[in-house]
Amino acid sequence: MTAIHQTNFHFPNQTDFYRGKVRDVYFFGDKMAMIASDRISAFDVVLPKPIPYKGQVLNQVAAQFLKDTSDIIPNWVEAVPHPNVTIGKRCEAFPVEMVIRGYLTGHAWRQYKEGHRLLCGVPMPEGLKENDQFAEPIITPTTKAQEGHDEDISREEILAHGLVSEQHYLQLEKYTRALYQRGAERAKEQNLILVDTKYEFGLFNGEITLIDEIHTPDSSRYFYAEGYEERQAANEPQKQLSKEFVRQWLIQNDFQGKEGQSIPEIPEEFVRSVTERYIELYENITGKTFQKTEGTEVLSEIEKAIIGSI
C-alpha cells in the first residue's frame, strides 16, 4: 500500500505554502488547494509513519458533509478534483476551534475522572460515568495552536482576550449547534452516534464561513448506536469509530505527547489495522463502498488535478 507522506509541489501562480499536521496547503491569492496527506497526529504530535488511504477517507468524508450542510452555513469548498484534494476559498480563520460534546468521553472524561466539574467554563453534572450522554450538548472551545497543543478556553476568556468579537462568537455557537444536530441526524441514519466533534470557521469577504473538514474520524468521534444502552448499563466500553483507538494505543505504550516522552515504535501490523479502521468508518458513515486510489502515480495525478482546477 502506498501512502502520501508529504508533497513538495511548485505551481505556477503559487503565492504561499503551509504544511499542517496532516495537510499540505498551497495558496493562490484568495484561493487554496488543500491536500489531505496520509500523516496522522495524536496528542498534537505527528506520528512517524503515515496511514495509507487515511487522507482519501478524510477528504471524501469532509466533502460529503460540507456539501450536506451548505444550507446551514456557507463553506470554503469550490471543487474536489481528486480524492485527496479540495480547492476552495482562502478565509481568515478565527483563532479558536469550536468543540461540541454530546457525551462524556475522551478529554472530557479524563478531566471528569480527575474530579473536575468545569470544562472550558461549562459545568458538568455530578453522577455521570464514562460515555454517558449530556442532557444537552456542551460547547468546549480550544485555542488554535500553530504548533504544539491546543488549549481549553472558555467563552468568557475568548471574549476578554478579544480573540473573537461577541457578535461573531454568538453566531459561531449557533452554527456549531446546528451543524452538530445535522451531523447527529446523519449518523443516526447510519445507525451511529455522533459523540463529539469540532468545527473551524473563518471570514471570507466579511461573511462567516465553515472551513477545514467536518464529521471525519480525525475531527469527530462516533459510537455504534446498536447496543449503546446495553453497554452503558453493563459498564462496558462503547464500540466506536474514531481516532481514539490510536490515542489509546499510544497511552498503553506510555505516550501522551508530554515533555520527555518518546513516540513508541509503530509496527506495520498496527498501521494496517488503522487503515482498516478508517475505511470501516468511511463505509459506515457514508453508506458507500470505499474505492481505493491505487497506483504509483498518485502524486502526479494530484499535481495535474490542482493545475487543472486553479
Query: Has residue 196 got a pLDDT over 70?
Result: yes
Q: Percentage of residues in the chain with pLDDT exceeding 90?
A: 88
Residue 140 lies in a domain: yes
Residue 218 lies in a domain: yes
Can you tell me the mean pLDDT for 58-73? 97
Residue 11 lies in a domain: no
Query: Domain count of the chain?
Result: 1
Angle between helices 268-286 and 244-252 (to 10 degrees): 160
Least confident of 139-153, 170-184, 218-232, 246-260: 139-153
Query: Has residue 141 got a pLDDT over 80?
Result: yes
Within 10 angstroms of residue 121's Cβ, the number of other Cβ atoms is 15
Band (pLDDT 50/70/90 cuts) for residue 296 is confident
Query: Has residue 235 got a pLDDT over 60?
Result: yes
Q: Which distant-in-sequence residues (6+ apart) come within 8 Å of 168 by Cβ?
A: 94, 208
Query: Has residue 241 got a pLDDT over 90?
Result: no
Query: Has residue 148 got a pLDDT over 60?
Result: no
Query: Has residue 136 got a pLDDT over 60?
Result: yes
Residue 66 lies in a domain: no
Within 10 angstroms of residue 88's Cβ, the number of other Cβ atoms is 19
Q: What is the pLDDT of residue 88?
A: 98
Band (pLDDT 50/70/90 cuts) for residue 243 is confident
Q: Which distant-in-sequence residues (6+ apart) come within 8 Å of 73 by Cβ?
A: 175, 178, 179, 208, 209, 210
Band (pLDDT 50/70/90 cuts) for residue 152 is very high
Q: Which residue has the higher pLDDT, 268 or 245?
A: 268
Taking the C-alpha atoms of residue 210 and residue 117, their distance in angstroms, rounded to an integer, is 30
Q: What is the pLDDT of residue 147?
A: 59
Band (pLDDT 50/70/90 cuts) for residue 299 is very high
Taking the C-alpha atoms of residue 4 and residue 39, their distance in angstroms, rounded to an integer, is 7
CA distances to 107, 127, 153, 159, 266 from 116, in Å: 11, 12, 15, 23, 33
Query: CB–CB of 64/285 below 8 Å?
Result: no
Average pLDDT, the chain: 94
Can you tell me the mean pLDDT for 68-96? 98
Residue 63 lies in a domain: no
Using only C-alpha atoms, the chain has a radius of gyration, in whole angstroms, of 19
Least confident of 37-46, 129-138, 159-168, 300-309: 37-46
Band (pLDDT 50/70/90 cuts) for residue 146 is low
The cell for 251 is 497511552
Q: What is the pLDDT of residue 144?
A: 84
Residue 250 lies in a domain: no
Q: What is the pLDDT of residue 240?
A: 85
Q: What is the pLDDT of residue 1?
A: 63
Give bridge partners of residue 123 from the DSSP assignment: 118
Residue 210 lies in a domain: yes
CB-count exposure of residue 59 (10 Å: 0-12, 13-18, 19+) = buried
Give residue 137's domain range: 93-245
User: Which among 295, 216, 304, 298 is positioned nearest to 5, based on CA atoms?
Assistant: 298
Can you tell me the mean pLDDT for 93-119? 97
Q: What is the pLDDT of residue 294?
A: 75
Taking the C-alpha atoms of residue 295 and residue 298, their distance in angstroms, rounded to an integer, is 6
The cell for 207 is 461573511
Query: CB–CB of 285/61 below 8 Å?
Result: yes
Residue 196 lies in a domain: yes
Taking the C-alpha atoms of residue 222 and residue 41, their distance in angstroms, rounded to an integer, is 18
Q: What is the pLDDT of residue 7?
A: 96
Taking the C-alpha atoms of residue 130 and residue 73, their distance in angstroms, rounded to an integer, is 32
pTM, to two decimals: 0.90
CATH label of the domain that carries residue 104: 3.30.470.20
**Ordered DSSP codes for 56-109:** HHHHHHHHHHHHHTTTTS-BSEEEEEETTEEEEE--EE-SEEEEEEEES-HHHH
